[in-house]
Amino acid sequence: MTDVTLHDTLCALTLTLVLTGPRMVLNTRPLITTPLIPYPMALIVQKYGGTSVGSVERIGAVADRVARFKSEGHDMVVVVSAMSGETNRLMGLAKEIQKNPAPRELDALLSTGEKVTTALLSMALGERAVRAKSFSANQVGILTDSAHNKARIQDIRAEALQAELEVGGVPVVAGFQGVDVQGNVTTLGRGGSDTTAVALAAALKADECQIYTDVDGVYTTDPRMVDGAKRLDQITFEEMLEMSSMGSKVLQIRSVEFAGKYKVPLRVLSSFEGGPGTLITTEEDTSMEAPVIAGIAFNRDEAKLTVVGVPDNPGIAYRILGPVGEANIEVDVILQNSRGENSTDFTFTVARGDMEAAAEVLTPVVTELGAGEVLTDDHIAKVSVVGVGMRSHSGVAATMFKALADVGVNIQMISTSEIKISVIIEEKFLELAVRSLHSAFGLDTVED
Ligand code: ADP
Ligand code: ASP
Ligand code: MG
């Protein structure tokens, strides 16, 4: 009789633990008290980057946070990157075997890093009595084109995730990977887990997409470069798009494009500390105090090619850049100055890894055009100032060029858009240039 009662009591207790498990387990753990999402029962997609899942302890901390959100009543979908350093390690192994591995095989290899973290996090959630299930891109139905290593998401089948949400589970999805129509695994380009998260948030119509990383938001510039960089409470999609495309790797550019297009509320936060992070928003700060410049971005991944002595005729830009484009090489900044003489120089920049290929493509073109030679330089970098305030304020370019002149940095090329000015400079001056511009635009944190 006693045994039966004890057995019954244990069963009842187990049942209670299962039903209320997350809450009970969580009560024994430290909680971050301020809710980011002020309303109950939201659908939240959270993405955790490499350092946020870089060890078993970090994965445990992620599981604690997910469990807490779940216990607060939210529906949760989690996207994870590979553990920090893992994608580079796998890439290194491939390169030891083959200089240019087949893109399909590289994707088959690189996508394994994310699979590991989905399984480990699901286990960590299980350990906290949260029902969780790992999903590969194939199991979700994240359909991409077949452009291996830089595939684009074309469609997301949300049914499998929705079914899991309906039974109260937490789907843990592998970021960075997709599947093409032939069933091949593809990857979305470095940093692509951000895009997976935003695309899932769009497909599921989530209330917010939270990108957890190793900094507590988007800063006026990379806080690893400038100590006095400030966290922004918010930044517009337009500005974030320029910051990302000009080199700020805190968000992959395509994730910002997606979020803007599908109106996904997007927030960047730290997985290491609390705080509100940075909200990427459509709202522009139109107050008088709004800063003209939101931030300063930089990119070392630049190389310059100059075709010397090309005829100064119509069609030259096309004859030079046409073959470069056909070789799938993206051109960034372009400079041509017509002096009204017979010949001129034509300069443009590409990603550093594409410099040699671009020079090779141009060899026959130079002969055809009767031009001089192709000069290459991979010791350059690009610095950009970004801000929607530029539309209504003049003098931004003057402030930028004066700041660079004051520290003796020579500008090699300039390109502008409505909300950005970029300059190409010698790489060795990059830090100096970024710091000077950060001060010149009044972005430095004022020490109390
Ligand atoms: P994750 O692995 O979480 O995806 P990433 O390394 O891709 O993280 O992105 C976070 C890093 O982005 C930061 O550690 C920081 O050095 C860098 N970064 C560059 N520009 C900025 C910026 N403007 N604000 C915040 N972080 C930036
Ligand atoms: N693991 C991939 C990378 O290192 C994708 C990501 O982290 O977003 O680029
Ligand atoms: Mg990243």
The pLDDT assigned to 4 comes to: 31
- Same domain as 193, residue 97: yes
Go through the chain and tell me how many residues it has: 448
HEC states along 180-219? CCCCCEEECCCCCHHHHHHHHHHHHCCCEEEEEECCCCCE
Q: What is the CATH number of the domain that holds 120?
A: 3.40.1160.10
Token pair 């493509």 is found at 361
- 380 beta partners: 302, 426
Split into its structural domains, the chain has a count of: 2
pLDDT at 337 over 90: no
pLDDT band at 36 (very low <50, low <70, confident <90, very high): low
Pick the residue whose CA is nearest to atom 4 on ligand 1.
49
Does 22 fall in a domain? no
Judging by beta carbons within 10 Å of its beta carbon (0-12, 13-18, 19+), is residue 207 exposed, middle or buried?
middle
Q: Which domain holds residue 177?
A: 32-214
For ligand 2, what atom is nearest to the CA of residue 49?
Answer: 7
Which ligand ends up closest to the CA of 231? 1
- 268 beta partners: 211, 278
Average pLDDT score over residue span 268-290: 86
- 249-281: b (≥16 Cβ within 10 Å) or e: ebbbbbbbbbbbeeebbbbbbbbeeeeebbbbb
Of 214, 245, 269, the residue at which a domain comes to its end is 214
- Same domain as 320, residue 202: no
- Same domain as 171, residue 45: yes
Q: What is the CATH number of the domain that holds 412?
A: 3.30.2130.10
- Same domain as 89, residue 191: yes
Most confident of 194-203, 289-298, 325-334: 194-203
pLDDT tens for residues 153-186? Answer: 999 999 999 999 999 999 999 999 999 999 999 9
pLDDT tens for residues 362-385? Answer: 999 999 998 889 999 999 999 999
For ligand 1, mutation pick of 83, 222, 266 (most atoms within 8 Å of CB): 222
Cα 442 to averaged position of ligand 2 atoms, centre (Å): 33
Give the other-Cβ count within 10 Å of 332's Cβ.
20
Assign residue 85 a region (left: φ > 0; alpha: ψ between -120 and 50; beta: otherwise): left
Cα 270 to averaged position of ligand 3 atoms, centre (Å): 12
Does 71 fall in a domain? yes
Whether ligand 2 lies within 6 angstroms of the CB of 131 is answered as no
Of 174, 189, 214, the residue at which a domain comes to its end is 214
pTM for the full model?
A: 0.88
Question: What type of residue is 411?
Answer: I
Whether ligand 2 lies within 6 angstroms of the CB of 211 is answered as no
- Same domain as 37, residue 128: yes
Does 317 fall in a domain? yes
pLDDT tens for residues 94-136? Answer: 999 999 899 999 999 999 999 999 999 999 999 999 999 999 9
pLDDT band at 327 (very low <50, low <70, confident <90, very high): very high
pLDDT tens for residues 204-225? Answer: 999 999 999 999 999 999 999 9
Q: Which residue has the higher pLDDT, 391 or 67?
A: 67
The pLDDT assigned to 393 comes to: 87
The pLDDT assigned to 411 comes to: 97
- Same domain as 210, residue 315: no
CA dist., res. 147 & res. 254, Å (int): 15
Does 276 fall in a domain? no
Asked if residues 63 and 128 have their Cβ atoms less than 8 Å apart, the reply is yes
pLDDT band at 15 (very low <50, low <70, confident <90, very high): very low
CA dist., res. 23 & res. 139, Å (int): 29
pLDDT band at 7 (very low <50, low <70, confident <90, very high): very low
The pLDDT assigned to 34 comes to: 44
Express as a percent the part of the chain with pLDDT over 70: 89
